[in-house]
Amino acid sequence: MHRFLRSIAVVLVVSLLFQRALCADEETLETTTEANAAVTDGEKRVVSLEDRLATGLKVRRPEDVAFLEQVAQRVQEGKLPRKIVDSTYLWALRRRQSYPFPSFQKALRLQAERIGVDLE
């Protein structure tokens, strides 16, 4: 019973934060994207979504890297909106955990499930 209530609470919190993030200024995301751009010989080189997620979320395990590869692929295919990935990424970082990946993974899976996208 405790586990069930905890799951419901997580879903509600993630949903509220997701809606809040979508309504928030895009300024935070733009700042994050600019901060992740590398300058090489006067040219800006934008870091890929997968690399940005892996670095920011402090991914360590091969199966976590595989999950991020799948997320990046779904975004490229247009099946998973980048806005959902970015808002979930920013939410996980704001939680200030030493290892934010598990929160990101769980929240993104819930959001993807709501829109009918399969993330295994």
Output the pLDDT for position 96.
Answer: 76
- pLDDT at residue 102 tops 70: yes
What digits encode the pLDDT tens for the residues 4-21? 666 666 655 555 555 555
State the SS3 of 76-95. HHCCCCHHHHHHHHHHHHHC
Residue 120 lies in a domain: no
Residue 106 lies in a domain: yes
Structural domain tally of the chain?
A: 1
What digits encode the pLDDT tens for the residues 64-88? 999 999 999 999 999 999 999 999 9
pTM of the prediction? 0.65
Cα separation, 120 vs 73, in Å, equals 13
Helical packing angle, 82-94 and 101-114, nearest 10°: 150
Please report, for residues 4, 29, 36, 40, 52, the alpha-carbon distance to residue 44 in angstroms, rounded to integers and kept in the order given.
47, 17, 10, 6, 15
Residue 38 lies in a domain: yes
Range of the domain at 84: 2-114
- pLDDT at residue 30 tops 90: no
CB-CB contact of 95 with 103 (8 Å): yes
Residue 81 lies in a domain: yes
Output the pLDDT for position 42.
Answer: 60
Residue 119 lies in a domain: no
Output the pLDDT for position 119.
Answer: 87
What digits encode the pLDDT tens for the residues 33-43? 555 555 555 66
Residue 42 lies in a domain: yes
DSSP string, 3-66: HHHHHHHHHHHHHHHHHHHHHS-THHHHHHHHHTPEEETTEEEPPPHHHHHHHHTT--SHHHHH
**Nearest alpha-carbon partner for 67 in 91, 85, 93:** 85
Output the pLDDT for position 46.
Answer: 78
